[in-house]
């Protein structure tokens, strides 16, 4: 079974297109105005090994980043048979002084816990990072815990977060021969 999906989301504020291949090699084809966000999506693709194609346009960075998270979450949900995955993934990733931990449960109970303390940056709005991950977690739906154990440089903290999440996501989506639930179904 191919683990691929294509989702379009159009609102009065944004036009988002996401195409992904969960069993890809980490290729990213991202067209979004925000250079830093483009870099973070490419990082997510690389570390999750998911091929991700995104076309995102809209009125405000806040709406574009939020709706990209929502649409990406919908695409992951559509592409994955939850009864045939390992379900859990986690990663502790360093990037220079930054150290970030991510834990993912692909159960259909959306929850998001965020513990990054990202200083202000001229490259990006730190509040949008939390908003992206929250939108992604709730639309997938998944449980996601994302915490900073160390770090001062905003770029390093956020990039390590995307690397950590991508690595945890990759683990959680690995194929399994049995349902990873004592209930028999996720």
3-class SS letters over 62-96: HHHHHHHHHHHHHHHHHHCCHHHECCEEEEEEEEC
From first to last of its 186 residues, what are the pLDDT tens digits of the chain? 789 999 999 999 999 999 999 999 999 999 999 999 999 999 999 999 999 999 999 999 999 999 999 999 999 999 999 989 999 999 999 999 999 999 999 999 999 999 999 999 999 999 999 999 999 999 999 999 999 999 999 999 999 999 999 999 999 999 988 766 666 665
pLDDT at 177: 80
d(C-alpha 99, C-alpha 167), whole Å? 14
Per-residue confidence (pLDDT) for residue 183, from 0 to 100: 66
- Give residue 10's pLDDT: 98
What was the pLDDT predicted at 64? 98
Model confidence, pTM: 0.95
Would you state the pLDDT for residue 179?
Answer: 65
- Per the structure block, which two tokens stand in for 74? 């919908």
Residue with the two structure tokens 């045939």? 84
Of 151, 171, 170, the residue nearest 161 (C-alpha):
151
């Amino acid at each position: 079974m191919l683990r691929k999906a294509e989702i379009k989301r159009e609102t009065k504020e944004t036009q988002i297109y996401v195409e992904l291949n969960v069993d890809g090699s980490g290729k990213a084809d991202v067209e979004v105005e925000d250079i830093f966000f483009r870099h973070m999506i490419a990082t997510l693709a690389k570390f999750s090994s998911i091929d991700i194609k995104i076309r995102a346009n809209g009125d405000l960075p806040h709406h574009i980043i939020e709706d990209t998270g929502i649409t990406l979450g919908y695409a992951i949900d559509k592409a994955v048979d939850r009864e045939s995955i390992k379900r859990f993934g986690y990663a502790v990733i360093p990037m220079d002084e930054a150290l970030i931990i991510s834990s993912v449960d692909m159960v259909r109970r959306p929850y998001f816990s965020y513990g990054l303390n990202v200083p202000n940056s001229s490259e990006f709005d730190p509040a949008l990072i939390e908003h992206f991950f929250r939108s992604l977690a709730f639309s997938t739906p998944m449980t996601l815990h994302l915490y900073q154990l160390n770090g001062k440089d905003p770029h390093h903290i956020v990039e390590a977060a995307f690397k950590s999440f991508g690595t945890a996501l990759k683990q959680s989506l690995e194929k399994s021969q049995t349902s990873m639930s004592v209930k028999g179904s996720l």
